[in-house]
């Protein structure tokens, strides 16, 4: 690296370990999340990297003349416009694999919470109702004997499938490209899968192709015994259609870790007894978030020391 320290822009809040580690090597330039704010031309010229958790405003890409790399906190990088980054010759990195186990574990927990209503049962105990009203009511749903269809059998989807095997449920999946050498049933479309299974788990990225693909038609196909779990992105779901499907018992229950416009969770979900809701916590343990934070920083250090990154996104491939 040259004598002049490289500056790294950090819009909005980010994991504290990232700020601490960046500060040991780079000049850190914190700015508010959102549209471009005024910063001196000299600082702007020194900014060659961005560390981001959430959405990066495209104005930064337009106005930082020497930007080389955007390091995204999260495996999903729907907050970064990769098309624009490619046009500007900017590398984008993300944090795959280090969170697979945590997210898959959370998915199983959310599935069980949804079918067996454990959060409601715990509240029942805490409210003193066990003593006052007797045992918590039996849950109409069970995981036993379910047919599960996973939308997205990538790094995390595979870990979810492996964890489902000992639960003795049937496992199938839909992806655009069929995966070879697996015993799981392949469905050629989401609709076909929804018709065939009674439990849908979504773990696809938030892209134009996955935008609002969970429609009223898909929920009708899933049917009245149907359970829908989403740990991918909330943008994949028509939330009005889901709320209606849960209210009308078109499907039986849903477990959601992600929402269309976080942290704004539609009121319609909050009163539903058949929805189990989490505030986007699938990867949110200290060890896993530390590993993600380290990867954000190590990608930046690798780039500025050796022009190598560890985990580029497929749209901006760079030799590791
Ligand atoms: P990945 O390895 O890239 O897997 C993505 C899977 O989705 C692939 O199997 C891919 O297969 C499939 N897919 C993509 N677009 C599709 C489409 N239009 N229709 C059907 N299948 C499609 O990604 P990952 O590491 O498993 O992460 C997946 C996503 O989970 C992330 O992008 C992120 O949005 C989300 N996530 C959420 C949390 C959380 O905290 N809740 C944590 C981590 C990740 P094909 O390309 O063959 O279709
Ligand atoms: C993070 C995630 O919570 O990795 C992802 O794609 O959704 C989560 O692990 C998020 O990206 C950080 O805010």
Ligand 2 atom closest to Cα of residue 289: 9
Domains 7-96+287-306 and 100-277 in one fold: yes
- Domain coordinates of the chain in residue numbers? 7-96+287-306, 100-277
Decide whether any atom of ligand 2 lies within 6 Å of the 73 Cβ. yes
Distance CA 145, CA 204 (A): 25
The preferred substitution site among 74, 98, 207, 311 for testing ligand 2, maximizing ligand atoms within 8 Å of CB, is: 74
CATH topology of domain 100-277: Rossmann fold (3.40.50)
Q: From ligand 2's centre to the CA of 206, what distance in Å? A: 12
Nearest CA to ligand 2 atom 4: 74
Cα-based distances in Å from 178 to 83, 154, 165, 173, 182: 26, 11, 20, 9, 10
Superfamily, domain 7-96+287-306: NAD(P)-binding Rossmann-like Domain (3.40.50.720)
CA–centroid distance, residue 158 to ligand 2 (Å): 18
List pocket residues of ligand 1, CB cut-off 6 Å.
75-76, 96, 99, 103, 151-157, 174-177, 203-207, 209-210, 231-233, 257-258, 280, 282-283
Distance from Cα 33 to the centre of ligand 2, integer Å = 16
Average pLDDT per block of 10 residues along the chain, 320 residues long: 81 98 98 96 97 98 98 98 97 98 99 98 98 98 98 98 98 98 98 99 98 99 99 99 98 99 98 97 98 98 97 86
CA torsion angle 87 88 90 92 (round to 10): -40
Q: With a 6 A CB cut-off, is 288 part of the ligand 2 pocket?
A: no
Sign of CA dihedral 61, 259, 100, 123: positive
User: What pLDDT, on a 0 to 100 scale, did the predictor assign at position 54?
Assistant: 97
Determine the residue of 156, 229, 230 to mutate for testing ligand 1's pocket, defined as the one with the most ligand atoms within 8 A of the Cβ atom.
Answer: 156
Q: Is the CB of 283 under 6 A from ligand 2?
A: yes
What is the C-alpha separation between 257 and 239, in angstroms, rounded? 13
Atom of ligand 1 nearest to the CA of 258: 41
Give the chain's mean pLDDT. 97
List active site positions. 233, 262, 280
| CA–CA gap between residue 159 and residue 107 (Å, rounded) | 10
pLDDT the model gives residue 52: 98
Q: What is the pLDDT of residue 318?
A: 82
State which ligand 1 atom lies nearest to the alpha carbon of 99: 43
pTM: 0.98
Q: Establish whether residue 234 lines the binding site of ligand 2, counting it when its CB lies within 6 angstroms of any ligand atom.
A: no
Q: Supply the pLDDT for residue 159.
A: 99
**Atom number, ligand 1, closest to the C-alpha of residue 203:** 30
Longest dimension (CA), the chain: 72
The reported pLDDT for the residue numbered 2 is 52
């Amino acid at each position: 690296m040259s004598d002049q320290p490289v500056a790294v822009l950090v819009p909005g809040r980010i994991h504290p370990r990232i700020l601490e580690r960046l500060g040991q090597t780079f000049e850190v330039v914190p700015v508010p999340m959102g549209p471009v704010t005024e910063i001196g031309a000299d600082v702007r010229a020194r900014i060659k990297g961005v560390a981001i958790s959430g959405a990066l405003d495209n104005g930064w890409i337009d106005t930082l003349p020497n930007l080389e790399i955007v390091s995204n906190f999260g495996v999903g990088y729907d907050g970064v416009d990769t098309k624009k980054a490619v046009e500007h010759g900017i590398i984008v990195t993300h944090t795959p694999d280090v969170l697979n186990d945590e997210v898959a574990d959370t998915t199983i927990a959310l599935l069980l919470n949804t079918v067996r209503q454990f959060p409601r049962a715990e509240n029942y105990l805490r409210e003193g109702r066990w003593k006052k009203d007797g045992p918590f009511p039996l849950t109409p749903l069970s995981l036993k004997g379910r047919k599960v269809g996973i939308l997205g059998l990538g790094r995390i989807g595979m870990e979810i499938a492996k964890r489902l095997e000992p639960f003795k449920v049937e496992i199938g999946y839909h992806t655009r490209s069929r995966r070879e050498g697996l015993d799981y049933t392949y469905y050629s479309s989401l609709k076909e899968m929804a018709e065939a299974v009674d439990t849908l788990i979504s773990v696809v990225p938030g892209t134009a192709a996955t935008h609002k693909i969970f429609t009223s038609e898909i929920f009708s196909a899933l049917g009245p015994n149907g359970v829908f779990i989403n740990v991918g992105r909330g943008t994949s779901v028509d939330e009005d259609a889901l709320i209606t499907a849960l209210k009308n018992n078109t499907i039986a229950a849903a477990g959601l870790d992600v929402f269309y416009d976080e942290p704004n969770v539609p009121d319609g979900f909050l009163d539903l007894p058949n929805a189990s809701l989490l505030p986007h916590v699938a990867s949110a343990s200290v060890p896993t978030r530390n590993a993600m934070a380290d990867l954000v920083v190590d990608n930046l250090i690798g780039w500025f020391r050796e022009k190598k990154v560890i985990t580029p996104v497929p749209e901006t491939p760079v030799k590791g």
